[in-house]
A and B are shown apart, each in its own frame.
Chain A
Amino acid sequence: MEIPSYVNRLKEACGAAIEEVSTPLGDLVVLVKADQIVEALNWLKEDEEALFDHFMDLTAVDYIGREPRFEVVIHLVSIPKSQRIRIKVHLDEDDPVMPTITPVYPAANWFERECWDLYGVHFTGHPNLTRIMLYEGFKGHPLRKDYPIKKTQPLMELRKPEVRRSDEAFEPGKNPNNP
């Protein structure tokens, strides 16, 4: 597969942000620096030849023992141009942090939450970075390679029933309709 011409213009526009361009097995892969990911994605979304308007997927891969350890993988699709691209970001083991891409692609919201939940990759500026698949209080991030598959979690203490009716009107004795 030939590298499309807009990738060269992306290199010119974003400069040092683009670390590597490759085409393994016919897929276009671009490696971008973590701190400039939002600018690169914005360019890819706005450019007339690229037009990557549709966010498909965001996940991470844990290459344990390699430096840098984590790799965040983003898949984009251009509906008008019928083309795909894979964006990669390398993150260090000690500090797996990258800026959120929700300002460019709002659909990434839950995907980033899932990535945080299962891999422990932190997205700065995310509107609500909480666990989504697992419960609050889960210890560790289970898709990391150093999380054993048979590891058990500590039992949780029985929680009190959540108090829903916090408004004063709902408190017994104060509500005229429900004394």
Chain B
Amino acid sequence: MATKEKEFIGAAEIKEEEIPVEEMFLNMGPSHPSMHGIVRIMVRITGERIVWSDVEIGYLHRGFEKSCENNSWNSAQIYTDRLNYVSPIINNVGYCMTVEKLMGIEVPERGEYVRTLVSEVSRIADHITALGAAAMEVGAFTAFLYAMKAREWLYDLIEAACGARITTNFARVGGLCADLPEGWIADCKTMMPQVEGVIVEMDKLLTRNRIFVDRMKGVGAVPPDKAVEFGFTGPLLRASGVPYDVRRAFPYSVYDRMEFTVPLGTNGDCFDRFLVRMEEMRQSVRIVYQCMEQLPEGPVNSDDKRAYRPAKSNVYGNIEGLMNQFKLVMHNHGINPPPGETYCSVEGGNGEVGFYIVSDGKDKPYKCRCRPPCLPLVQAIPYMLRDHFIADVVPVFGSLNMIGGELDR
């Protein structure tokens, strides 16, 4: 824009429209403290107002599908940990459910309960990380530290169950890698009230905090029809007021036996997304308690010999067990689902994580597609940032909870 030549009249008397402004191009990212993972947001600004924006992704593309197609069915599962690395168990469960559907394997009841239980623990960890990080980026550092404290407790629980904090690889086709260790339920029972305490603390710190509300309220609002049009799922869709939750619409595992409410927002702005995530954590705690109460005794793994490895006593004790073990671990053998294709989805931290898997009857997946919930959310960033200020980029982006591993795969 051309600058206006005019006489000096004193700073106090200049009105806003008379300040000479020039359009400026600004890069946020690829390496920026508030861009979790790596993503580049380009904005054109006049003064502080955004007039145009665009997003560039793909910095973390690792070839998830190509890797899966070149590994055996069990090896491909470890790549699913690296999709949403904040709640990896949910991805493991989604992948295993899809392969089980292809093979027609039923998981025993206890296995399904444990899957539901650890999925909900992961969901709390996912939401509490997202909220803590979003709060930190708008200046509330204390809330972030409180959230990280609770997340460590939840990761300790996950580590006790499967031996790893982040790359869990907990589920297996036909069940789980192991049953819950002794005393895990007691640990979880002592941990959950403490986690609830942290949720209350975050609630007190943030929900009525004047600075936080001013930064979040009315920012990045998406009306319900637009949210559906953009293909949103998960907390962002529900914050806009559309009641779609995979756990409720298409129940899997034992979610049809759980009592929980699906929280809905009204405005679809950043503050509603914060509130929806807060309420979902409380509902997840409810589900965790119900799972622990109803947890049945029995095996966690299917005894289907096509998928699950026999007990060590059988491997060392009799010839059938030994042969079965070798059939499953040897090169070019292993799991062989019959030719076919299917799609299964679970409710991940950010929305519907779907797996579309094609098998040609060989030892490797012919195709393993993950439907990323982040991609439609990031796609809508230019819409959410229209007519906003440069300072609103950070809360809008924080409220999406973009996970690079899932977005770029």
List the interface of chain A (C-beta within 8 A of B).
24-25, 27, 53-57, 59, 61-62, 73, 75, 77, 79, 82, 84, 86, 105-111, 114, 118, 131-135, 142-143, 149, 164-165, 167, 169-170, 176-177
Complex Cα spacing A57 to B23, Å:
37
Asked if B343 is an interface residue, CB under 8 A from chain A, the answer is: yes
The 9 residue pairs across chains A and B that have the minimum distance between CB atoms:
A107-B231, A57-B371, A133-B58, A133-B61, A164-B25, A110-B379, A59-B369, A79-B244, A82-B249
Complex Cα spacing A82 to B341, Å:
21
- Residues in chain A near residue B22, CB distance under 8 A: 167, 169-170
If the complex has contacts A57-B356, A169-B2, are A107 and B379 also in contact, measured as CB distance less than 8 A? yes
**B266-280 CB contacts (< 8 Å) to partner A:** none
- Structural contact, A57 and B249, CB atoms closer than 8 A: no
| Residue from the list B66, B249, B250 in contact with A143, Cβ < 8 A | B66
| Residue from the list A24, A25, A84, A114 in contact with B250, Cβ < 8 A | A84
- Residues in chain A near residue B102, CB distance under 8 A: 25
List 17 extra interface pairs beyond A110-B375, A134-B61, CB under 8 A: A24-B341, A25-B102, A25-B340, A54-B228, A56-B231, A56-B352, A56-B354, A59-B369, A61-B366, A61-B367, A75-B371, A79-B243, A84-B250, A133-B409, A149-B70, A165-B25, A169-B22
Complex Cα spacing A169 to B127, Å:
46
Complex Cα spacing A123 to B375, Å:
19
Complex Cα spacing A149 to B66, Å:
7
Asked if B230 is an interface residue, CB under 8 A from chain A, the answer is: yes
- Structural contact, A56 and B57, CB atoms closer than 8 A: no
If the complex has contacts A79-B249, A149-B66, are A86 and B343 also in contact, measured as CB distance less than 8 A? yes
Asked if B190 is an interface residue, CB under 8 A from chain A, the answer is: no
Asked if B310 is an interface residue, CB under 8 A from chain A, the answer is: no
Task: Indicate with 1 or 0, residue by residue over B49-72, a CB within 8 angstroms of chain A CB atoms.
Answer: 000000001100101011000100
- Structural contact, B408 and A143, CB atoms closer than 8 A: no
**B1-33 CB contacts (< 8 Å) to partner A:** 1-3, 22-23, 25
Complex Cα spacing A105 to B376, Å:
12
Asked if B342 is an interface residue, CB under 8 A from chain A, the answer is: yes
| Residue from the list A54, A75, A132, A165 in contact with B57, Cβ < 8 A | A132
- Structural contact, A109 and B379, CB atoms closer than 8 A: yes
If the complex has contacts A106-B230, A142-B66, A149-B70, are A61 and B376 also in contact, measured as CB distance less than 8 A? no
Least CB separation from A132: chain B residue: B58
- Residues in chain B near residue A86, CB distance under 8 A: 343
Least CB separation from A75: chain B residue: B343
Minimum CB–CB distance for B287 against chain A, Å: 20
Least CB separation from A78: chain B residue: B249
Minimum CB–CB distance for B51 against chain A, Å: 14
- Structural contact, A107 and B371, CB atoms closer than 8 A: no
A–B pairs, 18, beta carbons within 8 Å: A24-B340, A24-B342, A25-B101, A54-B228, A54-B231, A57-B369, A75-B356, A75-B371, A77-B244, A79-B244, A79-B249, A107-B379, A108-B231, A133-B409, A134-B58, A134-B61, A167-B22, A177-B3
- Structural contact, A25 and B342, CB atoms closer than 8 A: yes
- Residues in chain A near residue B182, CB distance under 8 A: none
- Residues in chain A near residue B379, CB distance under 8 A: 107, 109-110
Task: Indicate with 1 or 0, residue by residue over B348-368, a CB within 8 angstroms of chain A CB atoms.
Answer: 000010101010000000110
Complex Cα spacing A56 to B305, Å:
34
- Residues in chain A near residue B2, CB distance under 8 A: 169
Complex Cα spacing A32 to B249, Å:
27
Asked if B242 is an interface residue, CB under 8 A from chain A, the answer is: yes
If the complex has contacts A25-B102, A82-B250, A107-B231, are A61 and B340 also in contact, measured as CB distance less than 8 A? no
Minimum CB–CB distance for B294 against chain A, Å: 25
- Structural contact, A133 and B57, CB atoms closer than 8 A: yes
- Structural contact, A107 and B376, CB atoms closer than 8 A: yes
- Structural contact, B230 and A169, CB atoms closer than 8 A: no
Complex Cα spacing A133 to B119, Å:
29
Asked if B229 is an interface residue, CB under 8 A from chain A, the answer is: yes
